[in-house]
């Protein structure tokens, strides 16, 4: 067999080993073998002549990265790729626990309320008479400005200023919402005299 045929065989072996490395975890041993086979293919092609050597060098420099990129692209669809990628959620909400609190927060998306404090990324809002901590979408929100809940991200309420009319506030106190109650009703005595 002439040197050019040997160099082609060595290049095919190098490409096969590159693809095999993606399916068989070898700690880099197969990658090293693929590199040795590719270099050997170039050296053997140069033994056949300088023109054949340059052609094999260019083909190797184009073909190996192309095969590697294709293999990496299709690897997640292979059986071993799906096995390795198991547990990766399709939806970011899948990583959060499905608790009563989170379901309650998800119901707030789309609701309109107003800012209770100045929001320079975070602050306090009021929706349906209840007070919540929230984060604005990068825009400052003035106290009393109407806001709309646009998303719940990792148990944080994300709001955006809106021109919608503010909803009618209910003045009935919610006994569970301690932040909306006056300080006097909390039964805290002696705030002016901390040691008294």
How would you classify the pairing of strands 130-136 and 156-161?
Answer: parallel
Instruction: Give start and end residues of each alpha helix (H) in the chain.
Output: 3-23, 29-48, 50-74, 79-84, 100-106
Q: 126 in a domain, yes or no?
A: yes
Could you tell me which residue, 94 or 35, shows the higher pLDDT?
Answer: 35
Q: 192 in a domain, yes or no?
A: no
Q: In the structure, what pLDDT confidence band is assigned to residue 171 with cuts at 50, 70 and 90? A: very low
pLDDT at 174 over 60: no
**pLDDT value at residue 13:** 92
Q: 172 in a domain, yes or no?
A: no
Task: Note whether 45 and 7 are same-domain residues.
Answer: yes
Task: Note whether 124 and 161 are same-domain residues.
Answer: yes
pLDDT at 98 over 50: yes
Task: Note whether 51 and 103 are same-domain residues.
Answer: no
Q: In the structure, what pLDDT confidence band is assigned to residue 162 with cuts at 50, 70 and 90? A: confident
**pLDDT value at residue 41:** 92
Task: Note whether 113 and 69 are same-domain residues.
Answer: no
Give the CATH number for residue 123.
2.40.50.140
Q: 24 in a domain, yes or no?
A: yes
CA angle at 93 for the pair 133 and 76, rounded to the nearest 5° = 145
Q: Confirm if 134 and 122 have CB atoms less than 8 A apart.
A: yes
Nearest by Cα to 132 from 154, 108, 150: 108
Q: 19 in a domain, yes or no?
A: yes
Rounded Cα distance between 72 and 94, Å, is: 26
State the pTM of this model. 0.42
- Reported for 54-60, long-range contacts at CB under 8 A and 24+ positions apart, including other chains, are 56/7, 56/11, 59/11, 60/11, 60/14
**pLDDT value at residue 73:** 82
Task: Note whether 7 and 29 are same-domain residues.
Answer: yes
Task: Note whether 12 and 47 are same-domain residues.
Answer: yes
Number of domains in the chain: 2
Instruction: Read off the pLDDT of residues 5-55 as tens digits, 9 standing for 90 and up.
Output: 889 899 899 988 888 887 777 778 888 999 999 999 999 999 988 998 999
Task: Note whether 49 and 99 are same-domain residues.
Answer: no
71: containing domain: 3-84
């Amino acid at each position: 067999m002439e040197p050019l045929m040997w160099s082609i065989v060595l290049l095919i072996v190098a490409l096969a080993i590159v693809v095999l490395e993606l399916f068989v975890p070898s700690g880099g041993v197969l990658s090293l073998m693929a590199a040795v086979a590719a270099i050997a293919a170039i050296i053997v092609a140069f033994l056949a002549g300088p023109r054949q050597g340059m052609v094999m060098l260019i083909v190797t420099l184009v073909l190996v990265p192309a095969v590697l990129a294709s293999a990496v692209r299709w690897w997640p669809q292979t059986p071993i790729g799906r096995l390795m990628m198991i547990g990766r959620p399709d939806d970011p909400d899948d990583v959060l626990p499905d608790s009563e609190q989170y379901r309650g927060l998800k119901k707030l998306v789309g609701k309109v309320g107003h800012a209770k404090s100045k929001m320079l990324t975070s602050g306090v809002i009021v929706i349906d008479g209840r007070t919540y901590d929230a984060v604005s979408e990068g825009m400052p929100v003035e106290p009393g400005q109407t806001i709309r809940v646009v998303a719940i991200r990792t148990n944080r309420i994300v709001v955006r200023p809106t021109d919608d009319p503010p909803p009618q506030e209910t003045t009935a106190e919610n006994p569970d919402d301690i932040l909306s109650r006056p300080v006097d009703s909390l039964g805290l005595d002696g705030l002016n005299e901390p040691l008294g």
